[in-house]
Amino acid sequence: MVQQLLDSTITSYEIRDIRFPTSQHLDGSDAMNKDPDYSAAYVIFYTDSKDLEGHGLTFTCGRGNEVVCSAIEQLACKFVNKKLQDLVNDMRATHRICTGDSQLRWIGPEKGVIHLATGAVINAIWDLWAKAVNKPIWKLVADLTPEEFVQCVDFKYITDVITPEEAIVMLREKEATKADREAEMLRDGFPSYTTSAGWLGYSDDKVRRLIREAKEQGFTYFKQKVGSDKEADIRRAAIIREEIGEDGVLMMDANQVWDVEQAIDWMKDLLPFKPLFIEEPTSPDDVLGHATIRKALYPQCAVATGEHIQNRIVFKQLFQAKAIDYCQIDSCRVAGVNEVLAIILMANKFEIPIIPHAGGTFLVEMVQHLSLIDYICVSGTLDRRMLEYVDHLHEHCKTPVQLKNSKVTPPLAPGYSVEMYRQSIEDYTFPTGKIHQKK
């Protein structure tokens, strides 16, 4: 049956502009993104095998989602009439179907809207592959040999840091103990922290209530959005620290709002509240700026970034410049699973822990797979590693993330965990869905 599904041919695709009106309650609000409508540029690949579909998406904050959908159209058409077996036999070459188009590359290269679109399309192909072999993506990758794993990675522009041969050696070192870590995850789950209590637009009372509710769920790590009003940040940090106690861990996130010196000055006033790290303290493109901020704050406060880092090349430079202490991979800001695997390998070489970004539409559903891959296949350690848990919109997924005592239970359903209910697709499609007709 598996081989029969792998022999399937992609026959057509569907693209939807999905938007959720989260700005109504300021869910997801921060210093830069004050009123986001969590959205997904969503693509479905259909095949000639009944019920075998590949679902993928990339995350946006509302307006502009239609632009990404247009870019997806330019890429998705390249996969029609392609046999799934041929695509998965060489996933590096499959990845380059999107990144190697010489004309579309001009509007990147490998960044911006075309790269977001690539992430959606490549994620949908991985979802298709995982469903065909009846495995969740984390298990699909965990069962690959080191050579097969490396064949999924495009090493172009990063061989000065890591080569395919070096990556194979790295993966072989963890081969013998992969089964033990997999069993551990299935038994215990993966640790997580919550951002849901710390959105900038929430009132102090709401933050206090949500922190208490999160503690009842077993959370001991919490994230606060900062950067809009320093006095408000100090007041809010005092509230959170009071609620979580000295044993609780507080992280802060400025969402790129500061200049370099401003970030240093602002954070020095927040250091008394003992933040573990400051996330996105400045422009995601400013590698040396991140390095300057880290040098000024370390070791009292670490630096984290990743959700807006546009590709593996910029991540490489962040690692080389010793600019960050935590690597926050995003499942669809870069070009899907393939490029994330490259970043995980580089992070492991530089001993930078992976803490994925998951504040967005179904991102935690995807990044749970990526953290499991990092732990089981690559790093072999949970030291300084957590998943970000955001408690929004999971009800629209057929296989939503599962949380138990603040730990994420590894998904067992085949695929990438992002397939939406058809009714949700129809209701939230912009601008025709009934949710948008109510406005």
| 195 Cα distance to chain centroid | 14
**DSSP string across 79-94:** GTT-BHHHHHHTHHHH
Exposure of 54 by Cβ count < 10 A (0-12 exposed, 13-18 middle, 19+ buried)?
Answer: buried
59 Cβ neighbours under 8 A, 6+ residues apart: 38, 39, 40, 330, 332, 333, 360, 361, 362, 363
Q: Is 357 a catalytic residue?
A: yes
Q: Which amino acid is at 368?
A: Q
Exposure of 429 by Cβ count < 10 A (0-12 exposed, 13-18 middle, 19+ buried)?
Answer: middle
- Per the listing, tokens 């870069």 go with 334
Q: Which of 115, 139, 316, 357 is catalytic?
A: 357
Q: Are 248 and 220 in contact (CB under 8 A)?
A: yes
Q: Which of 55, 135, 223, 225 is catalytic?
A: 225
Interaxial angle between packed helices 91-99 and 336-349, expressed in degrees from 0 to 180 and rounded to the nearest 10: 110
The helix/strand/coil state of 187 is helix
Q: Are 193 and 251 in contact (CB under 8 A)?
A: yes
Nearest to 407 by CA among 189, 184, 182: 189
Compute and round to an integer the Cα radius of gyration of the chain: 21
Nearest to 240 by CA among 254, 251, 227, 255: 251
Exposure of 365 by Cβ count < 10 A (0-12 exposed, 13-18 middle, 19+ buried)?
Answer: buried
Active-site residues, by number, are: 225, 357
